[in-house]
Amino acid sequence: EAGVAQSPRYKIIEKRQSVAFWCNPISGHATLYWYQQILGQGPKLLIQFQNNGVVDDSQLPKDRFSAERLKGVDSTLKIQPAKLEDSAVYLCASSAPGTGTTGELFFGEGSRLTVL
Amino acid sequence: QQQVKQSPQSLIVQKGGISIINCAYENTAFDYFPWYQQFPGKGPALLIAIRPDVSEKKEGRFTISFNKSAKQFSLHIMDSQPGDSATYFCAASMNTGNQFYFGTGTSLTVIP
């Protein structure tokens, strides 16, 4: 079974530039998450999708971050304009329908963003 | 607001020793407590998980101890091996909403 795919793995940009990250979840997984992991910290939820709909985006800085999940499959996270404090690893995770009871998240390897 | 508090931040253990990582939570609505293992450059991967209806769960060398009244749970790694060197995150979630809250992580180093 293929895992969660993310790209690009690494991205270096200057502040005020824009960047986009892509995620392809495990086939059939209805729930998709974007997490931000700053060096030395635990993952922080940015946004959670259930199929096409947003379940939770309360911690997404909406003035600069946006995310979409087209057709309930792939997802894109965009940052525009980027700030220095956005330097982090952006993790995508997915979980299968009905795993609200098991709760297993499957993570991708992450996209490391460096903002100069 | 940190929903899950984790300690220690870092841990160094000799090969063959026992590694213990602790977590505490406040929200009694949490009903699922997983531990994730993360190697450098990789995403976190589920290691072991427990629900509050049991006080202990063991899988191989890994054991979760759960104290519902104290709202604490811990990961014990028996016979620690150099290959266990990684960052460990505890987490908590509620069935409703399927949202996960992660601890700040513990960097474990097992010395040969």
Q: Over the stretch A75-108, which tens digit does the pLDDT of each residue have?
A: 999 999 999 999 999 999 998 865 445 568 899 9
Buried b or exposed e, range A87-103, using 16+ CB within 10 angstroms: bbbbbbbbbbeebbeeb
CB contact under 8 A, B105 and A40: yes
The pLDDT assigned to A1 comes to: 64
Tokens of A90: 């952006």
The pLDDT assigned to B96 comes to: 66
The pLDDT assigned to A22 comes to: 97
CB contact under 8 A, A42 and B95: no
CB contact under 8 A, A31 and B97: no
B35 touches chain A (CB under 8 A): no
The size of the A-B interface in CB pairs under 8 A is 66
Spans in chain A with pLDDT lower than 50: 99-100
CB contact under 8 A, A103 and B97: no
CB contact under 8 A, B99 and A45: yes
CB contact under 8 A, A48 and B41: no
Q: A65 to chain B, minimum CA–CA distance in Å? A: 20
The pLDDT assigned to B94 comes to: 81
The pLDDT assigned to B13 comes to: 98
How many helices (H) and strands (E) would you count in chain B?
0, 11
- Closest by Cα among B29, B12, B25, B28 to B84: B12
The pLDDT assigned to B97 comes to: 63
Which chain A positions have a beta carbon within 8 Å of B41's beta carbon? 109
- Closest by Cα among A88, A104, A72 to A39: A88
Residue B32 is classified by DSSP as B
Tokens of B39: 């190697």
List Cβ neighbours of B6 (8 Å cut-off, separation of 6 or more). A42, B21, B22, B23, B89, B90, B103, B104, B105, B106
The pLDDT assigned to A105 comes to: 87
Q: In order along chain B (112 residues), what is the average pLDDT of each group of 10 residues?
A: 89 97 94 93 93 93 96 97 97 79 96 95
B73 touches chain A (CB under 8 A): no
Write the residue in B95, B100, B103 that is nearest to A105 by C-beta.
Answer: B100
